Chains A and B, each alone.
Chain A
Amino acid sequence: MQRVYLDHNATTPVAPEVVERMMATLREEFGNPSSVHHFGQRAKAAIDDARSAVAALIGGDASEVVFTSGGTESDNFAIRGIAEALEPTGRRHLITTTIEHEAVLNTYKALARRGWKTTLLPVDQSGIVSPAALEAAIGDDTALVSVMHANNEIGTIQPLAELARIAKARGALFHTDAVQTAGKISVDVRALGVDLASLSAHKFYGPKGIGALWIRRGLRLVPVLTGGKHERSRRAGTENVAGIVGMGVAAQLARRKMVEEGARLGPLRDRLEEGVLAAVPGTAVNGTRASRVPNTTNISFDRVEAESLLIALDLQGFAVSTGSACSSGTLEPSHVLKAMGFPPHRTQNSIRFSLGSANADGDVDRLIAVLPGIVEKLRSLTRTPVRA
């Protein structure tokens, strides 16, 4: 069966050049970067090159990049690291939004249980955080504000520069989970005025298991992983050399191709979106279409369980999702759509289509061809639940 992959926000295929360089690294650069000798030096050089490439992708400095095991660890490190570092100053208030990834939300919950005060900024149905809301919530005891650059489920881009300005004015630090934007659209940490940014390689054609946290020079975080002095004593553990090299290559490729890819995917995504809205009655786009990453559209389907639609599409070879993949493999109502104020049924009838390198025009056509039939069939079988 011919399969069409439309879930690039969940993960992306590893670019061939990335695979090649990683294989070469595994074969030839096996040294421990911390070793003094020749083998260590070569491995260190490899990761330093990657560090520069990642820094260049976001307009930062190589010395400001710490490699981690992925976006989740980067988020944990940023949030816990700052919260604990600033605790002695009396700043024990943390702000974030209701539409963040669980890596941020659950880390905030964990800190709340240990006594930090947390505030979650709401969003409206456009899926955008309002600077006024931050203004109202922020205080002199706020240590950190964390707002994602673009939301993984609906793709909406937050007004980071404005939000970061507000945080700075009150002496609070600003972290952004840039996992869904790095490599897709321009992320310039200086222009945005953020203090910390999380990245994840597998979202821009790099391997899974490797990410980075960009930390503005001068900031001190309390490390999450303690041990050796790796990553300038910020993140202990022998470096995942091949993974880091892979991330570096992916970052280079992304930097080169980002604008072109964005220009290709935007219209393709629009075509998919318009096609679905036209061909399938009872559909609507979730979130504002105005400020979005170019590859994402999140569409609700009236009177259809997203779960059923997802399975039906998979059985026909189309890979899509409803939002956050989660370890149990089960589909829970989207906390993002819920936060946007949609009623319960709409949080369970929406599908996310996220395009990428694996897609071409033909894919969209094929999808539009089968979707109406699938939806109609599912709708015809909807019944009210039997009450015992």
Chain B
Amino acid sequence: MRIVVAMSGGVDSSVAAALLAEQGHDVIGLSMQLYPSTASGQGPSAGSGQVPTDGAQASATSDERFGSCCTLDDLHDARRVASVIGFPHYIVNFERQFQETVVSNFVREYASGRTPLPCAHCNSDLKFSTLLDRARGLGAEHVATGHYARVEQRADGTWLLRRSSDEDKDQSYFLFSLTQDQLARAVFPVGTLTKPRVREEARRLGLRVADKPDSQEICFVPDGDYAAFVARRQPDVAHSGTIVDEQGQQLGTHGGIHRFTVGQRKGLGVSASIPLYVLRIDAETSTITVGPRQALEHSMLTASAVNWIALEPPAEWVSVTAQIRHRHRPAAARVRSLPGQRAELVFDVPQPAITPGQAVVFYDDDVVVGGGWID
């Protein structure tokens, strides 16, 4: 079967491609170029003041150094894997689509006082959308990635998304918005393996990327300074506002709501006798409300653009375990659907830092029941 493998140059997608090739599939490796290709080996974003290198493609952000992932070096790694294993590899330029679907959403969310989850958008709006279209144009009906997740088909033909075998690496959280059609075309070859096993396989296959470190940060903000990234793209976010307590009393000022996320404790610039956490971000008034930890815990949330995978939107309460961050231990809750593709969820035990903009994903054991965007 002809399969396109989305290759980042990392060990997971490399092994995914190699395993499929070993199994006899007609593999085509595609690497997405997501940002302008400046010189390889670029380090963290240096901000303005740097002279663009010769050959840098002119762009609004030509002073930036993108990428902790999918840099030129990474694309070369992917190409090397393809030539070692023996399948064709191409690079597709998705800069514009990446800007439109992932980056602009990222900036907009921060500017609205929300904390975005770009990887989820990249999966549903780019990898299993635009890239899938390209794959089909090349005669491949499936796209494989190096995600740690599993898909399987039920007896009735519907598709399920499950956590990966490696619980620690599980990335199903970022795939919650995949539709049935997308799941039917998704292949996750390493979803049944553990990370150590994947590296072992890479070594067995003779791939140089076997020991390549995983990229930890959001791929397009390699230095982790999201605030600076957002401010460069939308300078008007950097206007000051007040920090208040729950009674509305002003405790201090801040230089832009984009620098904050719910649950944040550091960088408030406010001294108090007890630790204070960001409780709410109000974009309209540019106000950050802070309070003690107990105030951070809530039981209830509502979500929008909810995607139900394993069942029809339930009008009645359904018991699930719910995860509100990638690194959040799923907690028992009940959820039901609301009109307008929304849902409300109540945790059995209050959870800290329910953050607007993040995803809430509902699980039934290791099966993804559905998920949505926290209001």
Residues of A participating in the B interface, judged by any CB pair closer than 8 Å: 102, 106, 109-110, 113, 305, 307-308, 311-312, 314-315, 328-332, 377-378, 381-383, 385-388
Contact = CB atoms under 8 A, between A and B. Distances in A.
B101 A388 contact: yes
Nearest to A333: B93
A381 B88 contact: no
Contacts of B88: 314-315
Interface stretch (B49-57, B224-232, B234-242, B360-368): B49-57
Across the A-B interface, the 8 shortest Cβ-Cβ residue pairs: A388-B105, A330-B91, A328-B37, A386-B125, A106-B54, A378-B137, A330-B33, A388-B121
B97 interface: yes
B72 A328 contact: yes
Given A332-B57, A383-B133, A311 B125 contact: no
A378 B137 CA distance: 5
A381 B33 contact: no
B72 A308 contact: no
Contacts of B129: 385-386
Given A106-B55, A315-B28, A328-B75, A388 B104 contact: yes
Contacts of A110: 54
Contact of B138 (A113, A308, A386, A388): A308
Contacts of B137: 308, 312, 377-378, 381
A109 B93 contact: no
B359 to A, nearest CB: 13
Given A332-B93, A387-B100, A388-B104, 13 more contacts: A113-B51, A307-B90, A308-B137, A311-B92, A312-B138, A314-B88, A315-B139, A328-B91, A331-B91, A385-B100, A385-B129, A388-B105, A388-B121
Contacts of B138: 308, 311-312, 315
Contacts, number: 75
A315 B137 CA distance: 11
Given A387-B101, A388-B121, A308 B28 contact: no
B79 interface: yes
A308 B133 CA distance: 10
15 contacts: A102-B55, A106-B55, A307-B90, A311-B28, A311-B90, A328-B72, A330-B33, A331-B93, A332-B37, A332-B93, A377-B139, A385-B97, A385-B125, A385-B129, A388-B125
Q: Is the interface of B mostly helix, strand, loop or mixed?
A: helix
Contacts of A377: 137, 139
Nearest to B124: A386
A329 B93 contact: no
B37 A330 contact: yes
Contacts of B265: none
- Highest count of chain B CB atoms <10 Å: which of A113, A305, A307, A387: A307
Interface of B: 28, 33, 37, 51, 54-55, 57, 72, 75, 79, 88, 90-93, 97, 100-102, 104-105, 121, 124-125, 129-130, 133-134, 136-139
Given A106-B54, A328-B37, A386 B91 contact: no
Contacts of A382: 133
Contacts of A387: 100-101
A303 to B, nearest CB: 12
- Highest count of chain A CB atoms <10 Å: which of B75, B93, B101: B93
Contacts of B90: 307, 311, 314, 329
B91 A381 contact: no
A121 to B, nearest CB: 18
- Highest count of chain A CB atoms <10 Å: which of B75, B101, B105, B133: B133
A332 B92 CA distance: 9
Contacts of B55: 102, 106
A303 B102 CA distance: 24
B228 to A, nearest CB: 22
- Highest count of chain B CB atoms <10 Å: which of A109, A330, A386, A388: A388
A361 B322 CA distance: 65
A215 to B, nearest CB: 24
Contacts of A330: 33, 37, 75, 91-93
A307 B91 CA distance: 9
A334 to B, nearest CB: 12
Given A113-B51, A328-B37, A378-B137, A385 B57 contact: no
Nearest to B109: A388
A329 B124 CA distance: 26
A377 B138 CA distance: 9
A363 B93 CA distance: 29
Nearest to A310: B90
A110 B139 CA distance: 44
A381 B131 CA distance: 11
A143 B170 CA distance: 63
A308 B130 contact: no
Contacts of A328: 33, 37, 72, 75, 91
